[in-house]
Amino acid sequence: MLKRAIDLIFSLVALVLLLPIFLLVAIAIKLDSPGLVFYAQERVGRRGKTFRILKFRSMVVDADQVGPHLTGNADPRVTRVGRLLRLLKIDELPQIINVLKGDMSLVGPRPEIPAIVEQYTPEQRAILEVKPGITGPTQLAWVGESDTFPPGVDVYEHYTKQFMQEKLESDREYVRTRSLAGDLWYVIRTPIAIGERILTTLNPPPHIQKYARLTLDCLAVIAANLSAFMVRFDWALPEKETQHLLYGLPIVCAAYLVSFVTLRTHRSIWKFAGVEDLWQIIKASAIGGGLHGFAVVLMGWHGYPRSILILTMPLTVLLTGGMRLLVRSSFSLQPKHLSSDTSPTNSRKVVIIGAGETGELIAREILGNPLSGYGLIGFVDDDPKKQGATIHGRPVLGTIDRLPDIAKTYAIQEAIIAISTATGNGLRRIGSICAGAGLEFKTLPSFTQLVRGDGNLRYLRKVNVDELLGREPVAINREAITEFFRGKRVMVTGAGGSIGSELCRQLISCGVESLIMVERAENALHHISLEIRQHSPEANVTAALADIKHIPRMSEIFERTRPQVVFHAAAYKHVPILEDHPGEAVLNNIIGTKRLAEVAQKFDVNTFVFISTDKAVRPKSLMGATKKVSEMYIIALNRVLRQSHGLSGTPHFFVVRFGNVLGSAGSVVPLFQKQIENGEPITITDPQMTRFFMTIPEAVGLVLQSSTMDCEEDVFILNMGEPVKIDELVNNLALTSGLNPSRVTKRYTGLRPGEKLHESLWDDDEVLVSEYDRIFAVRQPQASFGDMEERLNRLETLAMVGDVPALLRQIHDMIPSYAPSLKESAFSVPEVGEKYRILVIDDDKTLCDLVKEAVNGTYEVATACSARDGFDRIQRQRPHLILLDVKLPDQNGLQVCQALRDHPQYRNIPIIMMTGYGDKDDVVTGLRAGADDYITKPFRLDELQARIAAILRRSA
Residues of the chain with CATH 3.40.50.720: 350-451, 482-666+693-721+760-786
Reply yes or no on whether the pLDDT at 359 is more than 80: yes
Q: What is the mean pLDDT of residues 501-508?
A: 90
Decide which of 241 and 928 is more confident. 241
Q: What pLDDT does residue 132 have? A: 94
Separation of alpha carbons 137 and 148, rounded Å: 18
Mean pLDDT of 629-655: 82
- Mean pLDDT over residues 379-394, rounded? 89
The ranges of the chain annotated as CATH 3.40.50.2300 are 837-955
Give the CA radius of gyration of the chain: 44
Q: Alpha-carbon dihedral of residues 593, 598, 604, 608, nearest 10 degrees?
A: 20
Q: What is the pTM of this model?
A: 0.50
DSSP 244-283: HHHHHHHHHHHHHHHHHHHHTGGGS-GGG--HHHHHHHHH
- Rounded to an integer, the average pLDDT of 769-779 is 69
Residue 466 has pLDDT above 80, yes or no: no
Q: In this predicted structure, what is the pLDDT of residue 854? A: 79
Q: pLDDT tier at 454 (50, 70, 90 boundaries)?
A: very low
Cβ contact 805:786 at 8 Å: no
According to the model, what pLDDT value does residue 669 have?
Answer: 66
Which residue has better confidence, 10 or 737?
10
Please check the confidence at residue 247 and state whether its pLDDT lies above 70: yes
State mean pLDDT over 752-778. Answer: 64
pLDDT for 444: 66
Least confident among 443-447, 721-725, 908-912:
443-447
Looking at residue 703, its pLDDT comes to 83
Q: Worst-scoring range by mean pLDDT, 259-263, 442-446, 682-686? A: 442-446
* pLDDT at 824 (0 to 100): 52
**Maximum separation of any 2 CA atoms in the chain, in Å:** 136
* Residue scoring higher pLDDT (421 or 262): 262
The mean per-residue pLDDT over the stretch 469-481 comes to: 68
Please indicate whether residue 280 or residue 771 has the higher confidence score (pLDDT): 280
Instruction: Report the range of poorest mean pLDDT among 105-109, 628-632, 732-736.
Output: 732-736
> Are 353 and 415 spatial neighbours (Cβ–Cβ below 8 Å)?
yes
* pLDDT, position 527: 92
> What is the reported pLDDT for 879?
87
Top mean pLDDT of 58-62, 95-99, 619-623, 778-782 is at 95-99
Where is average pLDDT lowest: 48-62, 423-437, 717-731, 834-848?
717-731
> What's the pLDDT score for residue 369?
67
Residue 837: count other Cβ atoms within 10 Å of its Cβ: 15
C-alpha 428/C-alpha 434 separation (Å) is: 10
Query: What pLDDT, in 10s, does the model give residues 559-591?
Result: 999 999 999 999 998 888 888 889 899 999 999
Phi then psi for residue 702, to 5 deg, are: -75, -30
Mean pLDDT, residues 369-376 = 72
**Cα–Cα distance measured from residue 765 to residue 767, given in angstroms and rounded to the nearest whole number:** 6
pLDDT of residue 745: 76
* CB neighbour class for 45 (10 Å; exposed up to 12, middle 13-18, buried from 19): buried
Residue % of the chain over a pLDDT of 70: 82
What pLDDT shows up at residue 494? 93
User: Which residue, 346, 343, 288, 351, is CA-closest to 315?
Assistant: 288
pLDDT over 80 (residue 136): yes
Q: Residue 490 forms beta bridges with which residues?
A: 515, 565
Residue 343, pLDDT score? 39
What is the average per-residue pLDDT within 215-237? 90
Identity at 415, one-letter amino acid code: A
Q: What is the pLDDT of residues 780-794, one digit of tens each?
A: 777 788 889 889 988
Decide if pLDDT at 190 tops 70. Answer: yes
The length of the chain in residues reads: 956
What does the alpha-carbon distance between residue 365 and residue 372 come to, in Å, rounded to a whole number?
A: 10
Decide if 59 contacts 86 (C-beta within 8 A).
no
Structure confidence at residue 498 (pLDDT): 84
For a pLDDT cut of 90, what percent of the chain falls above it?
27
In this predicted structure, the answer to whether residue 221 has a pLDDT above a threshold of 90 is yes
pLDDT at 833: 38
pLDDT tens digits for 331-357? 655 544 433 333 334 578 899 999 988
Q: Residue 481 pLDDT > 60, yes or no?
A: yes
pLDDT of res. 455: 44
Mean pLDDT of the chain: 82
Q: At CB < 8 A and 24+ separation, what contacts does 825-830 make?
A: 825/580, 825/581, 825/582, 826/580, 826/581, 827/580, 827/581, 827/583, 827/584, 828/582, 828/583, 828/802, 828/804, 829/583, 829/799, 829/800, 829/801, 829/802, 829/949, 829/950, 829/953, 830/802, 830/953
Confidence of residue 260 (pLDDT cuts 50, 70, 90): very high
Q: How far apart are CA 800 and CA 571, in angstroms?
A: 18
The most confident of 94-108, 176-190, 683-697, by mean pLDDT: 94-108
* CATH domain 350-451 topology: Rossmann fold (3.40.50)
Closest CA to 280 of 327, 344, 217, 223: 217
Residue 607 clears pLDDT 80, i.e. is over it = yes
The CATH fold of domain 482-666+693-721+760-786? Rossmann fold (3.40.50)
CATH classification number, 837-955, choose in 3.50.50.60, 1.10.1040.10, 3.40.50.2300, 3.10.180.10: 3.40.50.2300
Residue 757 and residue 688 in contact, taking contact as beta carbons nearer than 8 Å: yes
What average pLDDT does this structure show over 167-175? 89
**Cα→Cα distances 757→57, 558, 601, 667, Å:** 83, 41, 38, 16
pLDDT digits (tens, 9 = 90+) for 803-843: 888 889 999 999 988 888 765 554 444 333 346 789 999 98
Average pLDDT rounded to a whole number, residues 141-145: 78
Per-residue pLDDT at 544: 94
The segment with the largest mean pLDDT, out of 751-755, 853-857, 889-893, is 889-893
Q: What is the DSSP letter of 159?
A: I
CA contacts within 13 A on the Cβ side of 931: 27
DSSP 587: I
| Residue 458's pLDDT band (cuts 50, 70, 90) | very low
Q: In this predicted model, which residue has the larger pLDDT, 193 or 6?
A: 6
935, 914, 918, 797: which is closest to 863 by C-alpha? 914
Which CA distances in Å does 510 have to 80, 121, 277, 485, 506? 83, 77, 51, 6, 6
**C-alpha distance from residue 744 to each of 353, 430, 729 (Å):** 22, 17, 13
Distance, in Å, from the CA atom of 895 to the CA atom of 887, rounded to the nearest integer, reads 10
* Distance in angstroms between the alpha carbons of the first and the last residue of the chain: 102
- Write out 112-124 in H/E/C secondary structure: CCHHHHCCCCCCH
Query: What is the pLDDT at residue 664?
Result: 57
Q: Is the pLDDT of residue 412 over 70?
A: yes
Residue, of 945 and 834, whose pLDDT is higher: 945
Average pLDDT estimate for 284-302: 91
d(CA 699, CA 688): 25
Q: Quick one: pLDDT at residue 738?
A: 59
Q: Are 418 and 359 in contact (CB under 8 A)?
A: yes
Q: Is there a cis peptide before residue 938, judged by omega within 30 degrees of 0?
A: yes
Query: Distance of CA 567 to CAs 234, 448, 500, 610, Å?
Result: 90, 39, 8, 6
pLDDT at 473: 60
Q: pLDDT at residue 30 above 80?
A: yes
